[in-house]
């Protein structure tokens, strides 16, 4: 067993882990981060958009020095069927404050930068080593076992991401069920900067965040996404894990079909595939939040289920950053009292309750259930496309009042379904 005892050992150099390390080390705490990947970000995946607010409060002006790709000014949401697409397109040319902005980014670059910031203020990182086990004594966490070595610490922050094996080992996290998860597959496709700007109608550093419901996930819970980077686009699909067994298409096939959709193909024509990745994403919101604190240990980021899929946007990174900060602040408070028991670390829970994290998770608590409704991914995209087709087809037959056209297509889904789903949809967001 190592003689040295750190104030905190952090498992995982994702956003939650790197931020926790930065906040702790900045206040003079003795911190070690252990990351199984060969560098921070090497194992991490995201669709692509970071809402800046939580990191902006920790490192003001970070976007000026961090490797961000583009500032998102264009939002698009499309209902996609196999042969149609109906899009809501919002261009935001208004001035925004730094906390209101959002950026596209690539985790390989961004996480390494964040790890560098933590190292600058004194945090230590070991990469390429997996934490195998959490060490306990009399029911209290006292360190970790990694690569055969036992390292002791007054506290351990679990920032291990969506599959919290160590949290489970401690009995704090219940085995995650498939209906609480979605699987994502993503391609990074290289294109010249000018081509991206022309195809997505963007100026210089402007970026586009584009979500798709309907056919990308084969009509199952999930959808597709495209985020524009400087000289590449991040394109992918997400599909509910529990639905995959009943799908007649594999996830790679869904991705292939999405890329070949008539609406998507011209956007990536001539592009070069430079990266392919797959990852799981927590989808059950507050229902999957585990026990967050115990004697000598805290759980943060995706490992704590802090992720929100609101349909028109996905948020996990801003929650990972804010929860990493909260965990670090709780360790600093415990360090002052020299009490690293669950009671000594309990300010973590209070900080989370008072922050947007728990408030937003509570606000959207009904949403995961609402998203299980297959009509959202199947019948509604088709209904919207049928309405559009009727409105824009002029073939010489006498026109119908728009009211009648709308009623006809709504009837196909069922008025009661529409009313029920409408009420449920509105009350769950
Ligand atoms: C397809 C997809 C699209 C998404 N789109 C968005 C989006 O557009 N915007 C957004 O905000 N969020 C998005 N998310 C969610 C977001 O990416 C996550 O919420 C976020 O990455 C969580 O950060 P984290 O630090 O908690 O975990 P991670 O980034 O997963 O980091 C966990 C780290 O722990 C390491 N680790 C795990 N176990 C061990 C161990 N035993 N020993 C050592 N190291 C270990 C891993 O290697 C990893 O580096 C998306 C997710 C997916 C999958």
Distance (Å) from CA 267 to ligand 1 centroid: 27
Residue nearest to atom 14 of ligand 1 (CA): 46
Identify the pLDDT of residue 1.
54
Question: DSSP letters along 172-230, please?
Answer: SSPPPPGGGEEEEEEEEEE--HHHHHHHHT--TTEEEEEEEEEGGGTTSSEEEEEEE-S
pLDDT by residue (tens digit) across 143-156?
Answer: 999 999 999 999 99
Least confident among 70-79, 158-167, 183-192, 370-379: 370-379
Exposure letters 340-356 (e unless 16+ CB within 10 A, then b): bebebbbbbbebbeebe
Identify the pLDDT of residue 272.
98
Residues near 411 by beta carbon (within 8 Å), at least 6 away in sequence? none
* Site to substitute for ligand 1 among 9, 10, 12, most atoms within 8 A of C-beta: 12
Question: Is 7 close to ligand 1, i.e. is its CB under 6 Å away?
Answer: no
Give the atom of ligand 1 at the shortest distance from the alpha carbon of 279: 53
Question: Is 46 close to ligand 1, i.e. is its CB under 6 Å away?
Answer: yes
* Site to substitute for ligand 1 among 22, 34, 160, 360, most atoms within 8 A of C-beta: 160
pLDDT by residue (tens digit) across 275-323?
Answer: 999 999 998 889 999 999 999 999 999 999 999 988 778 899 999 999 9
Question: Is 164 close to ligand 1, i.e. is its CB under 6 Å away?
Answer: no
Question: Is 130 close to ligand 1, i.e. is its CB under 6 Å away?
Answer: yes
Question: Is 321 close to ligand 1, i.e. is its CB under 6 Å away?
Answer: no
Question: Is 226 close to ligand 1, i.e. is its CB under 6 Å away?
Answer: no
Question: Is 347 close to ligand 1, i.e. is its CB under 6 Å away?
Answer: no
Q: How many whole angstroms separate alpha carbon 32 and alpha carbon 27?
A: 14
Residue 4 pLDDT class (50, 70, 90 cuts): low
């Amino acid at each position: 067993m190592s003689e040295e005892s750190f104030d905190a050992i952090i498992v995982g150099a994702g956003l939650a882990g790197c931020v926790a390390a930065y906040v702790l080390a900045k206040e003079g705490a003795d911190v070690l981060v252990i990351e199984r990947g060969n560098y921070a970000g090497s194992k991490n995946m995201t669709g692509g958009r970071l809402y800046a607010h939580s990191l902006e409060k920790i490192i003001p002006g970070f976007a000026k020095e961090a490797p961000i790709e583009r500032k998102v000014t264009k939002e698009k949401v499309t209902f996609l069927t196999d042969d149609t697409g109906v899009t809501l397109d919002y261009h935001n040319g208004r001035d925004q404050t730094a906390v209101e902005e959002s950026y596209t980014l690539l985790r390989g670059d961004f996480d390494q930068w964040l790890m560098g910031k933590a190292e600058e203020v004194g945090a230590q990182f070991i990469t390429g080593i997996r934490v195998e086990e959490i060490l306990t004594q009399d029911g209290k966490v006292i360190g970790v076992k990694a690569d055969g070595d036992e390292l002791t610490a007054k506290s351990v922050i679990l920032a291990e991401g969506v599959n919290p094996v160590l949290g489970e080992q401690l009995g704090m996290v219940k085995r995650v069920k498939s209906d609480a998860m979605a699987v994502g597959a993503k391609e990074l496709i290289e294109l010249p900067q000018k081509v991206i700007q022309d195809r997505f109608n963007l100026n210089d550093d402007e970026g586009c965040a584009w979500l798709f419901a309907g056919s990308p996930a084969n009509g199952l819970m999930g959808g597709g996404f495209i985020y524009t980077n400087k000289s590449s686009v991040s394109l992918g699909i997400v599909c509910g894990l529990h639905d995959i067994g009943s799908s007649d298409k594999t996830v790679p096939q869904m991705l292939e079909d999405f890329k070949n959709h008539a609406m998507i193909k011209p956007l990536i024509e001539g592009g070069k595939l430079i990266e392919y990745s797959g990852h799981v994403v927590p989808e059950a919101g507050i229902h999957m939040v585990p026990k967050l604190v115990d004697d000598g240990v805290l759980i943060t980021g995706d490992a704590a289920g802090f992720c929100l899929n609101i349909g028109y946007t996905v948020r996990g990174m801003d929650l990972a950053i804010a929860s990493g900060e909260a965990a670090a602040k709780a360790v600093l408070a415990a360090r002052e009292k020299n009490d690293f028991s669950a009671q000594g670390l309990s300010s973590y829970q209070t900080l989370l309750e008072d922050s947007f994290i728990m408030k937003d998770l509570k606000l959207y608590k009904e949403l995961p259930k609402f998203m299980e409704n297959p009509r959202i991914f199947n019948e509604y995209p088709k209904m919207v496309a049928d309405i559009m087709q009727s409105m824009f087809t002029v073939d010489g037959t006498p026109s119908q009042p728009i009211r009648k056209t709308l009623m006809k297509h709504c009837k196909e889904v069922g008025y009661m379904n529409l009313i029920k789903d409408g009420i449920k949809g509105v009350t769950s967001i």
